[in-house]
Amino acid sequence: MPSSSYPTRRLGRNGPVVSSIGLGTMGIGIFYGGQTDEESSMKTLSYAADRGVTFWDTSDFYGTSEATLGKWFAKTGRRSEIFLATKFGSIDYSDPLNRRLPSSKPTYIRRQIQNSLKALQTDYIDLYYQHRVDPEVPIEVVVETLAPYVENGTIRWIGLSECSLETLRRAKSVPGVGAKVIAAQMEFNPFELTIEKNGFAAAVEEYGMGLVCYSPLSRGLVSGQYTSPDDFEDGDIRKKLPRFSAENFPKNLEVVAKLKAIADKHDATSGQVALAWILASHPNCESYTLSYLAFLSSLTRTYRISCPHSRDTPDQ
């Protein structure tokens, strides 16, 4: 059974209650080099669930991630303990030209819902995101396509990932089912502050929605574990990202050093400081760890400093 004492938050003004820190599982299936060990993944999922980290995030874009979670649900019988989020539409896998473009065509959405349910070995999805906006399909059509699944309980809540404020506003404005659009997932961490500077985070709160921050540890950069692009295995997506280039790495490590100095004062890690800062700065925000890899190294003591009811100010 999960821990009943792990900090929780309500996702949006009238949404479900979830663990304040979630488990992002992209690293289980794809992108970070090497081959994931399924046994280790299963142990990690149990480790998270046992400690109350029950807000899990995956996608049909994350390789074997959905299938691994499905195997865990089947093996443990603990599906009801997990608030499960998955996504559709990042890439149209049915495109014969393999152009790797997003797709939110209604026929594609319906097919991907069934594919995800099958892979996850479940008959419902707690939170279903549009992974990337399809410029050829109006967001109103996307939300209305999901409406029958919301009505029959197959999908409980709807979210958008990497969307504009205008798209978010239009999604919320769809009569009836728009009220179920409860979450916006965007990158937010010490190296990516755009949503705070452009007013997106404030608008999400105004709309009564929850802000779900992905890559709060900046894909592991905040941890201080990596010091150059050479630290990443072949096939690791970070080798291609500007933040991790040979030119930018030294500058970013200066920020990591400052985080570590703060962490040392509190007997914590720089990753724990980053997570606590996000939670304290944005009370309507939930954060996902980079992946199960980062999760294992940061969870046990993060619990102590990430409680949303802490009296410390964001500066502290």
For the chain, domains (ranges, CATH) are: 8-223+269-305 (3.20.20.100)
169-221 pLDDT tens trace = 999 999 999 999 999 999 999 999 999 999 999 999 999 999 999 889 888 88
**Banded pLDDT at 224 (limits 50, 70, 90):** confident
Nearest in space to 270 (alpha carbons), one of 212, 315, 216, 307? 216
73-82 pLDDT tens trace = 999 999 999 9
What lies within 8 Å, CB to CB, of 305 at 6+ separation is 266, 268, 272, 273, 275, 276
145-159 pLDDT tens trace = 999 999 999 999 999
Distance CA 58, CA 66 (A): 6
| 288 labelled catalytic | no
135-173 burial, b at 16+ Cβ within 10 Å, e below that, comes to: eebebeebbbbbbebbeeebbbbbbbbbbebebbebbbe
Is residue 259 over pLDDT 90? yes
Kindly list the distances between the CA atom of residue 234 and the CA atoms of 17, 57, 240, in Å, as whole numbers in the listed order: 39, 25, 11
Nearest in space to 226 (alpha carbons), one of 201, 202, 191? 191
Give me the residue label for tokens 């304290």: 280
What is the pLDDT, as a whole number, of residue 290? 40
Structure token pair of residue 56: 């899990």
- In this structure, the chain runs to a length of 316
Of 49-63, 160-174, 293-307, the range with the lowest mean pLDDT is 293-307
Mean pLDDT score of the chain, rounded to an integer?
85
Is residue 309 over pLDDT 70? no
**Cβ-based burial of 309 (10 A; exposed 0-12, middle 13-18, buried ≥19):** exposed
89-147 pLDDT tens trace = 988 777 766 677 889 999 999 999 999 999 999 999 999 999 999 999 999 999 999 99
1-16 pLDDT tens trace = 666 688 999 999 999 9
Q: Which of 6, 32, 62, 207 is labelled catalytic?
A: 62
Structure token pair of residue 64: 């074997």
For the chain, give the percent of residues with pLDDT over 70. 86
**Banded pLDDT at 34 (limits 50, 70, 90):** low
49-74 pLDDT tens trace = 999 999 999 999 888 899 999 999 99
The set of long-range contacts for 142-146, using a CB threshold of 8 Å and a minimum separation of 24, is 142/104, 142/109, 142/171, 143/171, 143/174, 143/177, 143/178, 143/181, 144/174, 144/177, 145/104, 145/106, 145/109, 145/110, 146/109, 146/177
